[in-house]
Amino acid sequence: MLEIKKEQLKDFGIIITIVFVILGIHFNTNRFLIIAIVIAFFTILFPSIFYPFTYVWFRFSKFLGKLNSQIILAIIFFLVITPVGIFRRILGKDTLRLKDFKKGTDSVMIQRNHTYSSSDLEHLF
C-alpha cells in the first residue's frame, strides 16, 4: 500500500496551483487564476481533499519509473552493447575464450604464476 503523508498532499496542491497559474498567464484568462486561488485555499486548509488525486499520481509515477528504467536499459543494450558485440565478432575477438569453453577440452582459466605480496593488497586496482 502506498503511504501518502500530509506534506505530500500539500506539495501536490501547490503543484496543481502552480500549473493553473501558468495556464492562466499563458492563455491570459482569469478562470484559471480563480481556480488556482481556490486550489491554494484548499491546499492550506484541507490538504486531505487531494488524497485520491495524489494517490493516483504517485501510482502513475511508480509505473512510469518501472517502465522508463526498462525502456532505457533496452535502448542501451540494443544501441551500445549489441553493436560492440557484433563489431568484436567481426574482428574475431574472443576475450572470454568462449570457443575453448564450448569445446569442453580444457579449462578457460588463465594460469598465473605470481607470488602475492603486501603491495598487491595495498594497490588492488
Instruction: With a cut of 50, list the residues of the chain below it in pLDDT.
Output: none
**What pLDDT was estimated at residue 106?**
67
**What pLDDT was estimated at residue 105?**
65
Residue type, 116: Y
Q: Find the helix packing angle between 6-27 and 51-76, rounded to 10°.
A: 80
Taking the C-alpha atoms of residue 97 and residue 105, their distance in angstroms, rounded to an integer, is 12
C-alpha cell at 9: 498532499
Residue 119 lies in a domain: no
**What pLDDT was estimated at residue 40?**
97
Taking the C-alpha atoms of residue 22 and residue 72, their distance in angstroms, rounded to an integer, is 31
Residue 57 lies in a domain: yes
Residue 110 lies in a domain: no
**What pLDDT was estimated at residue 64?**
94
Quote the pTM value.
0.59
Contact 60, 67 (CB under 8 A): no
Residue 70 lies in a domain: yes
